[in-house]
Amino acid sequence: MYTFKEIIGNEKILNSFKKSIQNNKISHAYILDGKEKTGKTLIAKSFAKLLLCENSGLEPCLTCTSCISFDTDNNPDFFFIDTEKKSIGVDDIREKVIKNIETKPFKYKYKVFIIKNAQNMTIQAQNAILKTIEEPPSFAIFIFLTKNYNSFLPTILSRCILFKIKPLSPALIENYLINKGINSNIARFYSAYSRGSIGKALEIAYSENFITFRQDIIQDIERLENLNQHNITEIYNIVNKYENMKDSINEILNIYLLTYRDSLIYKQTNNTKSIIQKDIENHIKKIANNPSKKLINNIDFILKAKLNLEQNSNFNMTIECLLLDIKGDKIWLK
């Protein structure tokens, strides 16, 4: 169900959308920028549904023909452009956007176009849609969903209202999961792994494979910790393993990050009260035998690797350097 009431956090963005409707000052183009599973699609579709609603208000009425057809993916004036291809080409834009904007709305006030993963539009595709954004018909509304707004041409950015979706606080996600009926201890665990993403938290909470997946990565960390200092063959085995798990690398690094975080907390407090992964307490205590400086540096290495991967650095080289840095052969001071 797409309504603003279903959205957790991002109040400033929602209020801005509501004010634009209230004051009849709706822009023709918006960019929602944020990491994976941070609620971009939910926010964009809720706004689109409200724009197309036949009963004026600050929430979709849910009962008009438009709202009902929207929820069943049959609204004739709503277009959601998503593709499994690595890039969105000029032909995609011509076929799915420009062709449909040549005619007036079929039934409602607007034609709303949401383009998912819009950062994947080629330069040619961006130039094609730019012409429409520069002189849009009065009924056209565009919402670009992106993980990297800097990939847009400056001319497109200058014609769009940009909203940056920030990660939610662990406490907010934890409370949301508890309200969904999830045990409080488990909810805290899932909220920490989600890294501020409500979508990721829900995905983990209802996943049948996550616990097994996580245990597998924990075993990799144990192998790394127990590795002979001069034997790096096993490191390359792990690199090759992760190369076949590229789509899950963000989750993998989050497991590394939280494990070293818990170990550092235990190291500094000497109790398990504040650690999140209480089910692997013995493993956390063992890693905590490392000097504090090494634990801190390992966390920095992981964060740096995540950033490098977001900037499309070479995958194998990034993971290889990370694992070598974590293992290291330096003498760390306590």
In CATH, what number is assigned to the domain containing residue 283?
1.20.272.10
* Cα angle 48-87-78, degrees, rounded to a multiple of 5: 20
Q: Both 144 and 245 in a single domain?
A: no
Residue 123's closest CA among 166, 87, 177, 176? 87
What confidence tens digit (pLDDT) does each residue in 205-264 have?
888 888 899 999 999 999 888 886 657 788 889 999 999 999 899 889 999 999 999 999
Q: Both 20 and 140 in a single domain?
A: yes
Strand partners for 142: 29, 113
Other beta carbons less than 10 A from residue 16's beta carbon: 14
Identify the weakest region by mean pLDDT among 57-61, 86-90, 276-280. Answer: 276-280
Number of domains in the chain: 2
User: Could you give the 3-state DSSP secondary structure of residue 103?
Assistant: coil
Range of the domain at 15: 4-164
Q: Which residues contact 259 (CB under 8 A, 6 or more apart)?
A: 218, 221, 277, 280, 283, 284, 287
- List C-alpha distances in Å: 309 to 250, 261, 312: 9, 20, 5
Q: Classify burial at 250, counting beta carbons within 10 Å of its beta carbon; exposed 0-12, middle 13-18, buried 19 or more.
A: middle
Q: Both 226 and 293 in a single domain?
A: yes
Residue bearing the bigger pLDDT, 186 or 242: 242
Structural domain contains residue 240: yes
Identify the weakest region by mean pLDDT among 1-10, 215-224, 244-253, 302-311. Answer: 1-10
Q: Both 266 and 322 in a single domain?
A: yes
- For residue 274, the surrounding DSSP H or E stretch is none
Q: Both 134 and 67 in a single domain?
A: yes
Task: Quickly state the pLDDT bin for 35 (edges 50, 70, 90).
Answer: confident
